[in-house]
Amino acid sequence: MQYMGEVFKMLRTSRNISLKETTGDEFSPSMLSRFENGESDITITKLLVGLANIRTDLDEFVYLVNGFTMSPYNELKSNIWDAISKNKLATLHQMYTKELDNYHLLKKEIFFLNALIIKSQMLFLDEHTQMTKEEEQFLYDYFFFVDIWGNYELKLFSDVSLLLPLEMYIKYTREMLNKIDFLGDFGKNNNLVNSILLNGMFKSNKEKKVSSAAYFNNMIKKNFFEENDTYLRIVYMIAEGQYKYCKGEKDIGLQQIKVAIDILKVLNCDESAEYYSNSLQEWLK
């Protein structure tokens, strides 16, 4: 709460806007002052009024607040990647077990979902990692009973997708496209949706499933990337090149993939260029 008030005050004073101008006739300047000093909270209604009066979007405000305090999801991912970078599979198993224990003790679904996220990342250290039947059913129930998929659901799907067979990946993708609703065009959500569709296309190409790749290709083209999504456009060139290769247009597809990789090199995206070059050699085996 103190960080929220601190960030709000920083934004307000940077634009030389007074407490009275910020609150208007909606609430008192003294109430806002206490909020900025971390002495009390304010309702979301008053916060939205204040943000509008200091010309700040809610998304921008949340971004800055999260710069001071790491979100639970980001903290979890940070701990996961720390274990992976140190090749500590045992640590991931301990984290996974702890989340499951918390779930059984407190009956809060977030702990089970955390366990699934951790298990999905175990694949980087243990390729034999699989979901249990209980985990598969839990994930299915969660995705199909949530009415609107927001940023959390998209990140969750993106994380656990590593554990999903292609058929289930497609089923969840259809559910996602039905439920992103008006949140689908929200900046970072849109990027996640595009990445999920691209990964589905790569997954289909890897298994040489042309009809599945065609589905993802059509979904991507329905909501094609904006011009400023240059990186995603280049990655799509690679995925589409694989798709053409699988359809029998081998020379055309292979040439398209190589052109895309060359573009990455020209843009000095060396790690991405190396990743897709190595992936191409592995994929062609």
Identify the structural domains of the chain with CATH numbers, from first to last. 2-68 (1.10.260.40), 225-285 (no CATH)
Q: What is the pLDDT of residues 260-285, one digit of tens each?
A: 999 999 999 989 999 999 998 888 87
Report the half-sphere exposure of 153 (CA within 13 A, side-chain side): 25
For tokens 């609150």, the residue is: 23
> What whole-number distance in Å separates Cα of residue 198 and Cα of residue 220?
8
**Residue 231 confidence (pLDDT):** 86
**Residue 223 confidence (pLDDT):** 75
> What whole-number distance in Å separates Cα of residue 226 and Cα of residue 61?
25
For tokens 């011009």, the residue is: 227
Distance between terminal CA atoms of the chain?
A: 55
Dig out the tokens for 21 from the structure. Answer: 């101008």
> What whole-number distance in Å separates Cα of residue 183 and Cα of residue 223?
14
**Residue 221 confidence (pLDDT):** 86
Let me know the angle formed at the C-alpha of 47 by 42 and 48, rounded to the nearest 5 degrees: 150
Query: For the chain, which ranges sit under pLDDT 70?
Result: 1-2, 68-69, 181-187, 224-225, 227-228
Q: What is the pLDDT of residues 170-209, one digit of tens each?
A: 999 999 998 886 554 556 788 889 899 999 999 999 999 9
Dig out the tokens for 171 from the structure. Answer: 């089923």
Please name the residues in contact with 227: beta carbons below 8 A apart, sequence gap of 6 or more: none
